[in-house]
Structure 1
Amino acid sequence: MKDLIFKYVLQASMKYSSIDVNSIVGKIIAERPEYKNFIKDIIKETKDIIEEVKKLDADERKKHLERFTFYKEERKKEYELPNVGGKVVMRFAPNPNGAMSIGHSRQAIWNDFFVKKYNGELILRFDDTDPKVKIPEKKVYKWFEEDLEYLDVKIHKKVRQSSRLKVYYKHAEDLIDMGNAYVCLCKDDFKNYKDGCPCREITPEENMKRWKLMFRDYGEGTAVLRIKTDIHHPNPAIRDWIAFRIVNNPKNPFSKERLWPLLNFASAIDDHEFNVTHILRGVDLKSSVERQEYIYKYFSWSYPETVYTGKLFFRGLKSTTEIKNMIKEKKIDGWDDVRLGTIGSLKRRGIRGEAIRNFILSMGVNKNEVKVDINNLYSFNKGIIDKESNRYFAVFDPKKIRIEGFKSRRVKISIHPDFPERGYRAINCGNEFYVQDNLQRDRLYRFMHLFNFLNNTFVSDKLVKDAKLIHWVPSSGNVKVEVLMDDNTKLKGYGEESLKKVNIGETVQFERNFFCILEEKSKDKFIYIYSHR
């Protein structure tokens, strides 16, 4: 929330000499309707941030403003696919070499959005034809399916490219017969031939013989199948690009064949065979279209409509390669480590699939590069879980205090302030308590839902405006609580006895602390995973 307010206060400070609090609040609610339940908090935070921004000079404000993107116009736009003439068929095509990340989810969610909009079909296609570098992991296939279900992405058909090698071989042979593909033995010398290597001029018959040898006799790196293109194309990556290569010891979990298509070849064939009508593709993959269009031209096929999307950058999140290395080096526990941006990690932390989906859709789909702070996602999640999460007390780094003049009592506190019908939790209180705050002498405090005290002496039950509100737990009848934070540190303390009723997988709010989800419970300890504040 603070980041969002900061954005609009900065914007207003660059346009106007004075900033209207109500105007800022209106913009916040327009962009995040779920915040309407927190108007008082927004007003207070806005006033504080206005004072902070006043201390910045114009250059500093401009620099801060550059890291934000404004979505107001995007959110009003009705997103449509170009040239829809019949049934829409789209595909989400991940490489199952690592768990699905929130970055992956953008393409999945937008594909699903359009398919549902047009009552079409979405194919989950596993692009698993790299058995050497980005090696697929068998367990990851299932993870993707589970994560897509969590994100409410409906899959109509599943395809695994490693099961379709014979299909790709057949199309490769057809291209060889047509004289549009050839087996090249030039290795690194290929780039030294300005007008094409000698292999380019070999007859289809000789190329077919070489092709057969790729299955059994040629070694890895000695022969590749190339697609004929414009040998003088300004982009070297387009010039007679490689369609197949040999891998001597493939590590694909489903196939041990030694001849493997590269992604651009297999993808081109599949998009045609499965009648894909529209493709969402990153702007960084424009050259893929140019490569694949040669195949479509040779077979007289019509290329699918392509919608380009800009890159999505999340500050501080690790890439798939980085995560795999960290797991290998035992720096993290696994793909659902709380420090990661995988769907498994976010799910473990209680970030709802609905929140992720709404967050992704709120950014729109266009060619612009988008830099995002992951904290924005938590605002969407809070809008969902705030109503569902019952309230409890937990005290971390506990300090025991004794309140003189207080008589023991049993206090009843609402489980959720907005839903009295859920009932209450009852806490037995003596005159000894655990607190989290560092208490100051001669400062008036109020225990939430209980009483006021000064210098560890009971003052009154009546609510006093100037008393600082703090939470507490009694010194006995508590449960031990441990919270795994998003930086992998652990908070330890005591929680009220009512936490015994919380079920594993249930999200709660520890008042004045944060939201968290119960992962494990025993007689001795309750282990929670931090969600967000």
Structure 2
Amino acid sequence: MKKKIKNFIFKIIKSDLKKKKYKIIRTRFPPEPNGYLHLGHAKSIFLNFHISKLFKGKCNLRFDDTNPEKEKKKYIKNIIKEIKWLGYKWNKKIKYASNYFKKIYNYALILIKKNLAYVDQLNKKEIKKYRGTLTTVGKNSPYRNQSIKKNLWLFKKMKKGYFKEGEVCLRAKINMHSSQIIMRDPVLYRIKFFKHHRTKNIWNIYPTYDFTHCISDSIEKITHSICTLEFLDNKILYNWILNNINIKFKSTQYEFSKLNLEYTILSKRKLKNLIKKKIVDGWDDPRMPTISGLKRRGYTPKSIKNFCKKIGVTKQNNLIKISFLEHCIRKDLNKKSFRYMAVLNPIKIIITNYPDNLIEKIKILNHPQNKKLGKRTIYFSKYIYIDRSDFKNNKIKNSRKLSIHKEIRLRHSYVIKAIKIKKNYLGKIKKIYCTYDKKTLNKNPKNRKVSGVIHWISKNNTKKAEFHLFSPIFNITNPESQKNYLKYVNKKSIIIKKGFIEKSLFKKKNIKNYQFEREGYFILDKKNTDNKKITVFNQTVSLK
């Protein structure tokens, strides 16, 4: 074992192995295929797969596919792809809860025969009313004391499709006066006339998540069923089911705090709503906290895994700062990203004392601290572009920007001085006329001080580009705490700028991440095509 994860789950597993409770540790990652994975799932993936690796155990990938109404094959394909992208391998074949439908059905029959389950003919509203509240106890359904024989007969009729959806359901017979609402005769089976992605139309009834999950864990002999604290109350039902169905191996559930991230929602249901309301363009929108969205934005597997590792595993709910996630990606990209110059909001510079037809080649490093990344050629000419924000029409003391009669250094090249501006009919600066000091290539003048360095691109070395700059989708720190979370949507979560990028960037096809000097880290958007006139870059993160 190399680096140890020193959290409470690690300590439990270490103790179990020391006591020889288990010969081999088995964990699982059990997503429901009803949406794309998000950053919260990444934390669970990291925990389950990493623990199994550390303890030389096995981690299963199992889809808890018990609701054909909301589940789709495209979600399964995406989940498989994203787990592989993160760099994890699961134990043997992919597993599905639907593999165990027949066994789960037979376990339901056992509960009925033990008089621990009954077919209820109350509708959803009535069941909710009978269940009671946190301050009032529930009351028994009038169908609770039906004979075992009648319950078996009704359950088989459910299976054969004799009832309408919502007309009847199978409930556990536990305790309607329990202080735990989940133990007030929870639903175990419901009718759903939907085609299942694997079992097709064989089944008309489907087990609930709570009934399925614990049985699937135990069938697979999962030693440590790790889930988030929201399932803490479900644990008592998890154990009740396993203790009453005559199953040999009984898995044990352990809970940890779910991931809460500033300015972010991590709920598939709420993320779906953002798509439905067209606030974002889909599951892989770069603003989304999905793995697909983060990937499209330029986040790397290493940065996501490092983030999950460093936030730790506890039983204490807390809100993680988004700046920490950004720190993890900056740290990873800083070491390997090629440096290029891009102008996001261009303004034209004319070097008046530079020869009209001369184009000067300048060799520079692709990374100032990593010579292994090699060198490239940039071009200096009479016509260049700088970012509009790097020019101030009024001279400001101690400013590091270009202004009239003030000198500034162009990155990797010469010192220039602004001498005149030209405006359009609206009064906006259209061009800046400058002079250059030909003795200052990559060095400062001897007898005067140059106040700053700005980036630039020669007109002869440009390609048009569109830059997508992102901010969090929400403008409050904890949108999850708000019932009307859509009220706090940030309407400026994406800003689009049109400018120029170095042509030479496109010569290296295998590069994915770039640092545009003084602008941030960017990645080519995956939806770029050769037919597009303008290439789109997504900003992964700013430089600080």
TM over 0.5: yes
Deviation at 1:195, TM superposition (A): 5.8
Deviation at 1:168, TM superposition (A): 1.4
Whether the aligned pair in 2 keeps the contact of 1:229 and 1:294 (CA below 8 Å) is no
Corresponding residue to 2:436 among 454, 458, 465: 458
Q: Distance in 1 between matches of 2:8 and 2:185?
A: 41
In the other structure, the counterpart of 2:343 is 395
Deviation at 1:476, TM superposition (A): 2.1
Q: Does residue 508 of structure 1 match 2:459?
A: no
In the other structure, the counterpart of 1:447 is 410
Cα–Cα, structure 1 residues 195 and 424, in superposed 2: closer, same or farther, change >3 Å?
closer
What one-letter code is carried by the residue in structure 1 that aligns with 2:517? E
Cα–Cα, structure 1 residues 218 and 267, in superposed 2: closer, same or farther, change >3 Å?
same
Q: Does residue 286 of structure 1 match 2:209?
A: no
Q: Does residue 138 of structure 1 match 2:82?
A: no
In the other structure, the counterpart of 2:536 is 527
In the other structure, the counterpart of 2:54 is 117
In the other structure, the counterpart of 2:118 is 182
SS at match of 1:222: coil
Deviation at 1:422, TM superposition (A): 3.3
Deviation at 1:521, TM superposition (A): 6.1
Q: Does residue 470 of structure 1 match 2:454?
A: yes
Please give the per-residue CA displacement for 1:69-107, whole angstroms capped at 9, x wherever unaligned. xxxxx9799933342332111111111111010111111
Cα–Cα, structure 1 residues 77 and 227, in superposed 2: closer, same or farther, change >3 Å?
closer
In the other structure, the counterpart of 2:97 is 161
Q: Distance in 1 between matches of 2:141 and 2:530?
A: 70
Corresponding residue to 1:337 among 285, 294, 305: 285
What one-letter code is carried by the residue in structure 1 that aligns with 2:368? P
User: Aligned pairs, how many?
Assistant: 458
Deviation at 1:463, TM superposition (A): 2.2
Please give the per-residue CA displacement for 1:312-332, whole angstroms capped at 9, x wherever unaligned. 212233432233233334443
What one-letter code is carried by the residue in structure 2 that aligns with 1:494? F
Deviates more, 1:413-422 or 1:110-119: 413-422
Deviation at 1:261, TM superposition (A): 0.6
In the other structure, the counterpart of 1:235 is 180
In the other structure, the counterpart of 2:10 is 79
Q: Distance in 2 between matches of 1:195 and 1:100?
A: 39
- Structure 2, unmatched stretches of 5+, are 392-401, 419-433, 471-492
Q: Does residue 427 of structure 1 match 2:378?
A: yes
Matches within 5 A, 1:254-269: 254=198, 255-256=200-201, 257-269=203-215
Deviation at 1:208, TM superposition (A): 0.7
Deviates more, 1:485-494 or 1:108-117: 485-494
Whether the aligned pair in 1 keeps the contact of 2:465 and 2:498 (CA below 8 Å) is yes
What one-letter code is carried by the residue in structure 1 that aligns with 2:147? T
Cα–Cα, structure 1 residues 434 and 77, in superposed 2: closer, same or farther, change >3 Å?
farther
SS at match of 1:200: coil
In the other structure, the counterpart of 1:316 is 263
Please give the per-residue CA displacement for 1:262-295, whole angstroms capped at 9, x wherever unaligned. 0111112111111011011211211211112112
What one-letter code is carried by the residue in structure 2 that aligns with 1:359? F
Q: Distance in 1 between matches of 2:523 and 2:73?
A: 29
Cα–Cα, structure 1 residues 452 and 435, in superposed 2: closer, same or farther, change >3 Å?
same
Corresponding residue to 1:97 among 34, 40, 52: 34
Q: Distance in 2 between matches of 1:531 and 1:238?
A: 46
Q: Distance in 2 between matches of 1:332 and 1:184?
A: 42
Q: Does residue 374 of structure 1 match 2:291?
A: no
What one-letter code is carried by the residue in structure 1 that aligns with 2:260? F
Cα–Cα, structure 1 residues 373 and 137, in superposed 2: closer, same or farther, change >3 Å?
farther
Cα–Cα, structure 1 residues 305 and 76, in superposed 2: closer, same or farther, change >3 Å?
closer
Percent identity between the aligned chains?
Answer: 28
SS at match of 1:197: coil
SS at match of 2:182: coil
Q: Distance in 1 between matches of 2:217 and 2:415?
A: 69
In the other structure, the counterpart of 1:418 is 369
What one-letter code is carried by the residue in structure 1 that aligns with 2:444? L
Whether the aligned pair in 1 keeps the contact of 2:138 and 2:184 (CA below 8 Å) is no
In the other structure, the counterpart of 2:163 is 218
SS at match of 2:79: helix
Q: Distance in 1 between matches of 2:541 and 2:417?
A: 32
What one-letter code is carried by the residue in structure 2 that aligns with 1:506? K
Cα–Cα, structure 1 residues 169 and 374, in superposed 2: closer, same or farther, change >3 Å?
same
Deviates more, 1:330-339 or 1:90-99: 330-339
Q: Distance in 1 between matches of 2:175 and 2:269?
A: 33
Q: Distance in 1 between matches of 2:466 and 2:508?
A: 14
Whether the aligned pair in 2 keeps the contact of 1:394 and 1:510 (CA below 8 Å) is yes
In the other structure, the counterpart of 2:108 is 172
Deviation at 1:205, TM superposition (A): 1.6
Give the alignment's TM-score, normalised by structure 1: 0.80
What one-letter code is carried by the residue in structure 2 that aligns with 1:141? I
Deviation at 1:504, TM superposition (A): 6.4
What one-letter code is carried by the residue in structure 2 that aligns with 1:531? T
Whether the aligned pair in 1 keeps the contact of 2:131 and 2:139 (CA below 8 Å) is no
Corresponding residue to 1:106 among 35, 43, 46: 43
What one-letter code is carried by the residue in structure 2 that aligns with 1:291? L
Deviates more, 1:360-369 or 1:288-297: 288-297
Whether the aligned pair in 2 keeps the contact of 1:506 and 1:518 (CA below 8 Å) is yes
Cα–Cα, structure 1 residues 373 and 427, in superposed 2: closer, same or farther, change >3 Å?
same
What one-letter code is carried by the residue in structure 1 that aligns with 2:376? R
Deviates more, 1:478-487 or 1:266-275: 478-487
Whether the aligned pair in 2 keeps the contact of 1:351 and 1:378 (CA below 8 Å) is no
Cα–Cα, structure 1 residues 275 and 229, in superposed 2: closer, same or farther, change >3 Å?
same
Whether the aligned pair in 1 keeps the contact of 2:182 and 2:234 (CA below 8 Å) is no
Q: Distance in 2 between matches of 1:521 and 1:218?
A: 52
SS at match of 1:268: helix
